[in-house]
Amino acid sequence: MIALEHLHVIHVIHQEGSFRKASEKLFKARSAVSYSVKQVEEYYQVSIFSRDTYRPELTRDGQLLMPKIQQLLNAANEFDVFAKQMTGEVEPELRLSVGAIFPIEKVTGLLTQLKQHFPETILHLNIETASGERMLLDGLVDIGIYAGLTQDTQRVRYRHIDQIRLPAYISNQSSIAIQADMTVKDLLSVPQVVVKSSYKTSPDSGILEDTVHWYVSDHHTKKSIIRSGLGWGRLSSDEVQAEGLDNLIELNCIDKLEVPIYMACAKNKALGPVAKMIWHYFDEMSTT
C-alpha cells in the first residue's frame, strides 16, 4: 500500500494549484514533491496530473481518485485525533476565546468547574469581537465561543450552544429620540457606535452605510456611549434586560439580528481533558 504521505502531497498540489506552492507549504524540496506524485502514479499505473498544461490539472483518473484521497486523509486524521485523545494528558495551559456579545455570566460556571478539576492548568481567556473564527484558524486559541454567521466545516468542528438577539438601541436622551417613529434617514444624523474587530484580518459587521461611524475598542465603551445619547448601535437584548437599561429604546427601523452562538475547535487538533470539559459543558443547551 502506498504511504499516506504521498497522497497528502498530491492533495496539497491540487489545493495550491502548483508544485512550487505545494513544496513551500509542505516545506519540501520541489524534487520531493514530484517524487511523491511519481510513486503514486507508478504504484497504481495511473496518471494523476496532466503534463500538457502550465498548471497541474487533474486527468480523468485524477478526478476520480481525488475524492477518494480526500476521504482517506480525513479518516486518517480522525483516527490520529481520536488516538491522541485516548492517551491525552492534562493540558498545562489552554487558550479560550469568548465573543463580546456572549454573556460572561454563562461562562463563569464553566470557569468554576475548570478551577475545581484542573487547578494547575493555566487559562488564557480572550474576549474578542468579530474575530473568533479567524483566531481559531490561525492557531491563536484552542477553543472559541462566537457568533457563527459563516462556517468553515472543512477545518472547524462546531457545537451550537445558544442564540443571541441583537436589536439596535438608542437612548431616550438622544436628540432624535423625541420623534415618535424614527426612520433610518433620521439615524443618519447620529453616529453608529461600532466595536472594532479585535483581530486585524477580521471584517467589521452590522454597519449601516451612509452614516457616521464611531469605532471603539471594547463593548463596555460602546454601551456607555449609546446610553449617554451620543450614538446608537446593536446590543444583546438579554444584556439590556439583565442590566435594566430602561433609558434605551429599541429601534424598529433597523433589522433585528438573531445570531447563532457556537463553540468551535479545529478538526485537526486533539482535545485533552481540559478542552473536553469545556467542549461538553454546554451539552444541555446544545441543539446540534
Write out the residue limits of the CATH 3.40.190.290 domain(s) in the chain: 168-255
pLDDT for res 156: 93
CATH code reported for the domain at 93-162+260-281: 3.40.190.10
Separation of alpha carbons 278 and 56, rounded Å: 43
In the chain, list all ranges with CATH 3.40.190.10: 93-162+260-281
Q: Which CATH architecture has domain 4-86?
A: Orthogonal Bundle (1.10)
The count of other CB atoms within 10 Å of the CB of residue 10 is 25
Res 88: pLDDT: 63
Nearest to 253 by CA among 211, 214, 221, 222: 211
**What pTM was estimated for this model as a whole?**
0.65
Separation of alpha carbons 109 and 112, rounded Å:
5
**Tens digits of pLDDT across the chain (288 residues):** 888 999 999 999 998 888 999 998 888 898 999 999 999 999 999 999 987 777 889 999 999 999 999 999 888 877 876 776 566 678 889 999 999 889 888 899 899 989 888 888 899 999 988 888 989 999 999 999 998 878 888 899 999 999 999 999 999 988 887 666 788 888 888 899 998 877 655 455 567 777 889 999 888 999 999 999 999 999 999 889 888 888 899 998 888 888 999 999 999 888 888 999 999 998 855 444
* 8 A C-beta contact, residue 130 and residue 205: yes
In angstroms, rounded to a whole number, what is the distance separating the alpha carbons of residues 58 and 66? Answer: 9
User: What is the phi-psi region of residue 139: left when phi exceeds 0, alpha when psi lies from -120 to 50, beta otherwise?
Assistant: left
Class in CATH terms, 168-255 = alpha beta
Residues of the chain with CATH 1.10.10.10: 4-86
Q: What's the pLDDT at 165? A: 92
